[in-house]
Structure 1
Amino acid sequence: MLRIGLTGGMGAGKSTVARALVDLGAVLIDADAIAREVVAPGTPGLAALVEAFGEQILCADGSLDRPALAAVAFADDVSRGKLNAITHPLVGARTAELIGDAAADAIVVQDIPLLVENGLAPLMQLVVVVGAEEQTRLRRLVEHRGVDEADARARIAAQATDDQRRAVADVWLDNNGAPEVIKAQVRNLWEQRLVPFERNQRDGVRARAAYELVTDPEWDVQARRLIARLHLACGAAAVRIDHVGSTAVHGLPAKDIIDIQVTVPDLATAESLTGTLTAAGFPLAANVTHDNPKPGPDDPDGTDLDRWGKRLHGNADPGRPANIHLRVQDSPGQRFALDLRDWLRADDSARAEYLAVKRGAELAAAGLDVDAAGAAYYGVKEPWFDAVYPVVTQWARARA
C-alpha cells in the first residue's frame, strides 16, 4: 500500500483536504482521533494515566480532563516523558493495526498535525503539506472555531514554521483560496500522482523521466528527502548515501531524474535490501546488474563486469523520478560517481564540455519512443564517460 503523510498548521485547512481525499477513495488514519481513542473511558491507556498522574486528571463523568492532564504532564521533562511513555506506544500500536486492516492496494493517508515537529516525514512515502498565510489561518481560527486571537497566535507560533514544513513537503497545497480551489488541487494530486504512484509500487514499475534537459533549484532539497527515506529503509546496511549525477551539480541542466548512490559493503548486502527498498516504494530494475566498465590500469580493455557490479532501484513516484544506485564501497563505479560529481562542481570547463555532450544526447533522443530515446541518449554520453574516466580518476587522486 501507499503511505501518505498529511500535515499543516492550525487553520490551514488540513481537515478539508483529508475529507476530499477520503471522498476520492483514500483510507484516512487520524492521529488526533487515535490519541483520543486510546485514552477513552475504560481503556488501559486512561487507567495508566490515572495511575501515573492521579485522579485529578479526570472529569466528573470519568473521562480525561485534558487541560488538567496538560497542567501536570507538561510541568517538567520527567512528567512529559512519563506521558509519552504511556501514550506513544498505544498510538503506535493502534496506528499499525489500522494500517494492517487496510487493503493491499490502499492509499493510506496519515493525518498527523505534528509530523514535522516529531520528525516523522522519512516514515512516509510522500508528505503532503497544506499551507495558508498566517492571517488567513488566524481568521479561520477566530471566526470559524471561536479561538481567542491571542491564543490562536500563540498556538501558531508554537508550531513548525512554513520553512520547516516546506523542507519536508513533497507536495505543497496552497489553501488561501475558496474550498473548491483546494478540492481541485486534491483531485489533480490524486489522479496525476497518488493513484499512479500506488499502481507503480504494486506493479514494481520505476517512474521515468523524459530525455530532455531542464534545471530545477529544488533538486537538492528533493534529494535530501529521498536520502532521509533511504537511510531509514537501509539502516546500518548503508555505509553512506549521496546525491550524485548531474542534478547534484548546481546550475547544470539535466534530465529531471535524481541520482542517489547508496554505498554498501558488498553486493550481497545490496541484494538483501531488495525487499525493503521495494516495500518503501523503490522497485528493483532486475535487468541492470552493473555499470558500463571503463578502461583503466587494472582493466585496459574495460571488459571486467565484476568490478563494476551494482544493483539499481528507482522511485515509483511519478512526481519525482529517481535512480537509486547500490554500489560497493571503493569499487570503481562507486568512486567514479563521487569523483565525477566533484570534478564537475569544481571545473567550469568540464561542466561546459559535459553540457555540450548532453545537448548532443538530447538531440539524438528527440522524437524517439522511450526505449529508443534511452539507447540514443546514452549512446552519445557513454563514450565521453569512457574518455574522461582516467582524467577524473587522476584529478581525484591528486586531491587525496
Structure 2
Amino acid sequence: MLKIGLTGGIASGKSVAAARLRELGAVVIDADALAREVVEPGTPGLARVVGAFSKAILSPDGGLDRPKLGALVFGNPERLAVLNSIIHPLVRERAAALAASAPKGAVVVQDIPLLVETGQGANFHLVVVVDAPDDVRVQRMVQHRHMTAADARARMAAQAGRELRLAAADAVLDNSGAKEELRDAVDRLWKFRLAPFAENLARHRLAARSGGPVLTPANPDWPAQADRLIARLRAAAAPDVLTLDHVGSTAVPGLAAKDVLDLQLGVEDMAAAERIAPLLADAGFPAWPGIISDNPKPSRPDPADWAKRLHGNADPGRAVNLHVRAVGSPGWRFALCFRDWLREDAAARADYLAEKRRVAKLHGVDKSTAGYAADKEGWFADYAAPRMESWARHTGWHPPSYTAPATAPVPEAGAARGPGRTGSGSGTAES
C-alpha cells in the first residue's frame, strides 16, 4: 500500500483535502477522530488520562470534558507533554491497525495535524502539506470559527510554524484561494502522482523515465529532498544500513545537474544488499535487475569490488538513483570522494560542468540518458580520477560518514581509478 501523511496548520483546509482524497478512493485515517475514540468512556486511554489529571476532567456522564482538559493543558507545555504521551501512542497503534486492514494496493492517507511536531514523516512514502498564508488562516478562524485574531494566532503558535511544515513536505497543496481550487489541486496530485505511485509500488516497478539529459540550474532544495528520502530509507532497512549519503551532482551546491537525486546506501557486503532489496522496494525504491558493476575495464583487478545494486524510485514525482554498495569498496569510496572534491575545488566543478554540457549537447535528442552516462566515462577515468586522488592525498581526505574498523580498512586512494559504467545509464556521479 502507498502510505501518505497528510498535514497542515489549523484552518489550512486539510479537512477539505482529506475529504476529496476519500472521494477519489483513498482510505483516510483521521488522527483527530482516533484521539477521541481512544478516550471514550470505559477505555484504558480515558483511565490513564484520569490518573494523570484527576476526575475533575470528567463530565457528569463519565465522559471526557474536553474544555476542562484543554484549559489545563493549553499554554502549559509540561501538562501537554503528559497528555500527548498517553494519547499519541494509542492513536498510532489504532492507526496502524486500520492501515493494516486496508485493501492491497490501496492509497492510505493518515490525516495527522501534528505530523511534523511528532516527527512521523519517515513513516510515510510521501508527506503532503496543505498550506495557506498565516494571515489567510487567521481570517478564516475569525470568520468561520468566531475566534478573535489574538486567539487564532495563539492556536497557530501552539503548532509547528509554516516554514517547518513546508520543509517536511514532499508535495504542497496551496489553499490560499477557493475550496474548488484546492479540490482541483488534489485531483491533479492524485492523477499524476499518487495513483501511479501506488500502482508502481504494488508491482515493485520503477517510475517511467524518458528523454535525453536535461541539465537544470542547481536547486537549493535538493539537499532537503535527499534528507527526507534518507530518513525513510534508514527506517525501512535498519539495521543493515551502515551509511546513507547524498552523492552526485545534486549534492554539490551551485552545480547544474539533471533533476535526479543520487543516494548511496552502504552495507556490509553484497549479500546484505540482496537481503534488503525487498525492504527497499516496499519503501518505494525497487531494484534494477541483477548486480551492476561500476568497473568498465576488465583489466582492472578484482572487478567484483565495484559491484553494486542499483535501485530507482517508484514515485513519478521525484527521480532517484539509489546506489547500494559495500562500505569500503572502491565504488563506495569514489562516490564520496568525487562529491567532496567537487564541493571544495571550484576548478574541478567548472571542468565537470563543461564536460556535462558537452555530452548533454551530443545526446539531447536521445530517448534515455544511457548514452550521456557512457560518454562521460572516459572523462571520469582519464581526467577526473587522477586529479581527485591527488586532491585526496594532499588534503588527507577520508570518507566523512564512516570510520572503517581496523580489520576492514578503507582502500588506499590509488584503488579508485574511476566510476565506470553502471550498465543502466546511471553512473556514480551521473546527475
TM-score, normalising length: structure 1: 0.92
Counterparts of 1:161-180 in structure 2 under 5 Å?
A: 161-180=161-180
In structure 1, give the amino acid aligned to 2:363: A
In structure 2, give the amino acid aligned to 1:398: H
Residue from 221, 240, 243 that aligns with 2:243: 240
The superposition leaves residues 354-383 of structure 1 with CA deviations (integer Å, 9 ceiling, x where unpaired) of 2222123223322232xxx33311221111
Residue equivalent to 1:374 = 369
Equivalents in 2 of 1:283, 1:99: separation in Å?
Answer: 22
Residue equivalent to 1:250 = 253
Correspondence 1:133 to 2:113: no
Residue equivalent to 1:184 = 184
268-277 or 336-345: bigger deviation = 268-277
**C-alpha deviation, 1:12, in angstroms:** 0.9
Counterparts of 1:326-365 in structure 2 under 5 Å?
A: 326-365=324-363
Asked if the contact 1:57/1:64 (under 8 Å) is kept, the reply is yes
| 3-state DSSP of counterpart to 2:239 | helix
Query: Which structure: greater helix fraction?
Result: 1
Residues 84 and 178 (structure 1), Cα distance of their counterparts in 2 relative to 1, 3 Å cut:
closer
| 3-state DSSP of counterpart to 1:173 | strand
**C-alpha deviation, 1:67, in angstroms:** 3.0
**C-alpha deviation, 1:397, in angstroms:** 2.4
Residue equivalent to 2:307 = 309
Correspondence 1:195 to 2:221: no
The superposition leaves residues 340-365 of structure 1 with CA deviations (integer Å, 9 ceiling, x where unpaired) of 11111222222222222212322332
Residues 188 and 149 (structure 1), Cα distance of their counterparts in 2 relative to 1, 3 Å cut:
same
Asked if the contact 1:293/1:304 (under 8 Å) is kept, the reply is no
Correspondence 1:383 to 2:378: yes
| 3-state DSSP of counterpart to 1:136 | helix
Residue equivalent to 1:22 = 22
**C-alpha deviation, 1:94, in angstroms:** 0.8
46-55 or 307-316: bigger deviation = 46-55
Asked if the contact 1:293/1:303 (under 8 Å) is kept, the reply is no
Residue from 269, 276, 282 that aligns with 2:279: 276
Residue equivalent to 2:425 = none
Asked if the contact 1:209/1:257 (under 8 Å) is kept, the reply is no
Equivalents in 2 of 1:108, 1:331: separation in Å?
Answer: 39
Residues 347 and 86 (structure 1), Cα distance of their counterparts in 2 relative to 1, 3 Å cut:
closer
Asked if the contact 2:291/2:307 (under 8 Å) is kept, the reply is no
| 3-state DSSP of counterpart to 1:236 | coil
Residue equivalent to 2:427 = none
11-20 or 350-359: bigger deviation = 350-359
Asked if the contact 1:39/1:45 (under 8 Å) is kept, the reply is yes
Equivalents in 1 of 2:138, 2:52: separation in Å?
Answer: 36
Correspondence 1:395 to 2:391: yes
In structure 1, give the amino acid aligned to 2:3: R
Residue equivalent to 1:3 = 3
Residues 52 and 165 (structure 1), Cα distance of their counterparts in 2 relative to 1, 3 Å cut:
closer
Residues 84 and 179 (structure 1), Cα distance of their counterparts in 2 relative to 1, 3 Å cut:
closer
**Runs of 5+ in structure 1 lacking a partner?**
none
Equivalents in 2 of 1:81, 1:213: separation in Å?
Answer: 48
In structure 2, give the amino acid aligned to 1:332: P
**C-alpha deviation, 1:393, in angstroms:** 2.3
Equivalents in 2 of 1:385, 1:314: separation in Å?
Answer: 23
Residue equivalent to 2:108 = 108
**C-alpha deviation, 1:44, in angstroms:** 2.6
Residues 44 and 114 (structure 1), Cα distance of their counterparts in 2 relative to 1, 3 Å cut:
same
Residue equivalent to 1:214 = 216
Equivalents in 1 of 2:106, 2:258: separation in Å?
Answer: 31
Residue equivalent to 1:61 = 61
Equivalents in 1 of 2:161, 2:88: separation in Å?
Answer: 24
Residues 77 and 147 (structure 1), Cα distance of their counterparts in 2 relative to 1, 3 Å cut:
closer
In structure 1, give the amino acid aligned to 2:35: A
Equivalents in 2 of 1:178, 1:25: separation in Å?
Answer: 23
Identity of aligned residues (%): 51
The superposition leaves residues 181-233 of structure 1 with CA deviations (integer Å, 9 ceiling, x where unpaired) of 11111111110111111111112222336421112232121111111212222
The superposition leaves residues 228-281 of structure 1 with CA deviations (integer Å, 9 ceiling, x where unpaired) of 212222333222211100111122221111001112222222222212211111
| 3-state DSSP of counterpart to 1:237 | coil
Equivalents in 1 of 2:210, 2:323: separation in Å?
Answer: 16
Residues 248 and 364 (structure 1), Cα distance of their counterparts in 2 relative to 1, 3 Å cut:
same
Equivalents in 2 of 1:160, 1:85: separation in Å?
Answer: 18
Asked if the contact 1:193/1:318 (under 8 Å) is kept, the reply is yes
**C-alpha deviation, 1:303, in angstroms:** 5.8
Asked if the contact 1:357/1:380 (under 8 Å) is kept, the reply is no
Asked if the contact 1:257/1:322 (under 8 Å) is kept, the reply is yes
**C-alpha deviation, 1:74, in angstroms:** 7.2
Counting matched residue pairs gives 392
Residue equivalent to 1:13 = 13
Equivalents in 2 of 1:209, 1:323: separation in Å?
Answer: 14
In structure 1, give the amino acid aligned to 2:354: A
| 3-state DSSP of counterpart to 2:309 | strand
Equivalents in 2 of 1:79, 1:136: separation in Å?
Answer: 30
